[in-house]
Structure 1
Amino acid sequence: MASKLQALWNHPAGPKTIHFWAPTFKWGISIANIADFSKPPEKLSYPQQIAVTCTGVIWSRYSMVITPKNFNLFSVNIAMAGTGIYQLSRKIRNDYFNEEAPAVAKE
C-alpha cells in the first residue's frame, strides 16, 4: 500500500503538480452542473451547456493522447461532457418537443 501511495505521490501527474490540482478543482463545474439538474429547463443556458459539453469532449480526448496519461483529467472531463449533454437534452426537449400549448393572453 505504501508503495502505491509513493508511486502516486511521485507520478508526473501526481499531487505535487498542477496536472493533478487543476482537474481536481475542475470537479466543481461538474458538481455545479449536477446541482442544476433540479433547475427548470427554461432557465438553462445554451451557450453555457455547449461550452461545458465541448470542453468535456475536447479535453477528454486530449487527456488520453498526452504523456503521461492523466486519468484525473479524463474522468472530470467525461463527467463534464455527460452532465452538459444531459442538460442540453433537457433544454432541447423543453424548447422544441414540449407538447404543452403556449399560453395565450385573454383579451
Structure 2
Amino acid sequence: MEFIGIFAFILAISSIGLSDKVAKLKADVRKINISMKGDVKMSEILKGLEGKRCTLSVIAKGPIECEVISVDDEWMKVNQITKKGQSKMMIIRIDNINDVSIV
C-alpha cells in the first residue's frame, strides 16, 4: 500500500514541469509544420502588399476590401473602410486567407 502512495507522489512531482515542456514542444512542432507547408513564404509575399489596397477572400468572412497595414509570420493587420465610411482595423490569421487580389 505504501509503495503505491510513494509511486503516486513521485509521479506527481515529476509531472509538475511537464506542462511547460509540452507547450514548448507544441510550439516547436507548429513552427516546423509552418515551414514545411510554406506558410512563411506566403507571409513573405504578403509583406510586399503593405500599404496597398487589396481584396482578401477570408474563410468564414468572404471577400474583404482593405488596406494592408502590416504582416508578420502568422497574422496580417488590415484597415477596412465600412459602407458607413468608418475605419475598421482587423487582424487576420494568414492561414485563413484563401485568395488575394490587388485593387
Larger radius of gyration: 2
Structure number with the higher helix fraction is 1
- TM beyond 0.5: no
TM-score w.r.t. structure 2 length?
A: 0.33
Structure number with the higher strand fraction is 2
Greater relative contact order (CA < 8 Å, ≥ 6 in sequence): 1
TM-score w.r.t. structure 1 length?
A: 0.32
